[in-house]
Amino acid sequence: MTKPILLVVLSSVIIAGVLLVGTRNLKLVPGRFQFSLEYIYGVARDGIAKEQIGAEYRKYVPFIMALFSFVLVNNIFGIVPLVQFPTMAHIGFPAALALLLVYPTYHWVGIRRHGLRGYLRNQFIVPDVPKPVLWGLLIPTEVILKFFFDPVTLALRVFAAMFAGHLLVAVFALGGEFLLFEAAPLLKPISAVSFAFAVAITLLEAFIQVLQAYIFATLSAHFIGRSLAEHH
């Protein structure tokens, strides 16, 4: 049992608990807590699933909502005092979401809609393109993109953002501590600048944490919508 695994379990408990409590006694005129939950759900439903998937978006809203809230909570752990570790800065977790959940989901819904042959044709064959260009360039490129780069970049995007932000905060915080306690007396005032940068980057990181959760869910919905589409 490592800290990242413990945080993943904790995030699942937090999300389930918040949603169960928030929907236990729904009111026509919502209070602040219910309104906040409805707003987050509205973002996942209307701002992500409906925009990216299209007419059949409703059946995929729970999946997109789960992805969005899970990535969001695990990202926000990075600025929670005493925790201060964004779980998605550990590459295994975004890779698991992308490769074990999103990747098979969007291929499966496409195959179920079009059939295996129809899905492959729909994804890889562009009409009215000369066969040498189609088979020599476009199809190999599409295969590499859709079967390798899409899930890999989906995982790497959130991982890189969380890892870089967390690392920058640590660098400036430790640099400020060193200047304050270990450096020569003339350099000690500079520690305030280092701490100020740590605070500023933490605020920026909070924005990026929310943004990356939104991007992860949006790209996942986009892949599903692309698989369901009738044309390339």
Q: Inform me whether the pLDDT recorded for 82 exceeds 60.
A: yes
Q: Mean of the per-residue pLDDT values for the chain?
A: 90
SS3 9: helix
Q: How many whole angstroms separate alpha carbon 63 and alpha carbon 92?
A: 20
Q: Is the CB of residue 78 less than 8 Å from the CB of residue 86?
A: yes
* Mean pLDDT calculated for residue range 140-157: 89
Whether the predicted pLDDT of 178 surpasses 60: yes
Buried-state track 89-119, b at ≥16 Cβ within 10 A, e below 16: bbeebbbebbeebbbebbbebbeeebeeeeb
pLDDT surpassing 80 at residue 195: yes
Say if residue 156 is exposed, middle or buried (CB neighbours under 10 Å; 0-12, 13-18, 19+): middle
Residue 231 has a pLDDT of: 65
Query: At residue 126, does pLDDT exceed 90?
Result: no
84: left (phi over 0), alpha (psi -120 to 50) or beta: left
Is the predicted pLDDT of residue 22 greater than 90, yes or no? no
Mean pLDDT of 153-160: 93
Please name the residue ranges forming H helices in 29-97. Answer: 32-42, 51-53, 61-76, 92-96
Give me the residue spans of the domains in the chain: 3-228
pLDDT at 134 (0 to 100): 79
Q: How far is the C-alpha of 58 from the C-alpha of 49, rounded, in Å? A: 8
Residue 182: which pLDDT band, with cuts at 50, 70 and 90?
Answer: confident
pLDDT of residue 232: 56
- Residues 208-226 have pLDDT tens digits of 999 999 999 999 999 999 9
Tens of pLDDT along 92-120? 999 999 999 999 999 999 999 999 988 98
Which tens digit of pLDDT belongs to each residue from 43-68? 999 999 999 998 899 999 999 999 99
Q: Is the pLDDT of residue 230 over 80?
A: no
Contacts of 96 (CB under 8 A, 6+ apart): none
103 close to 151: Cβ distance less than 8 angstroms: yes
**Given this model, what pLDDT does residue 31 score?**
87
Q: How confident is the model at residue 147 (pLDDT cuts 50, 70, 90)?
A: confident
Size of the chain in residues: 232
Q: What is the pTM of this model?
A: 0.90
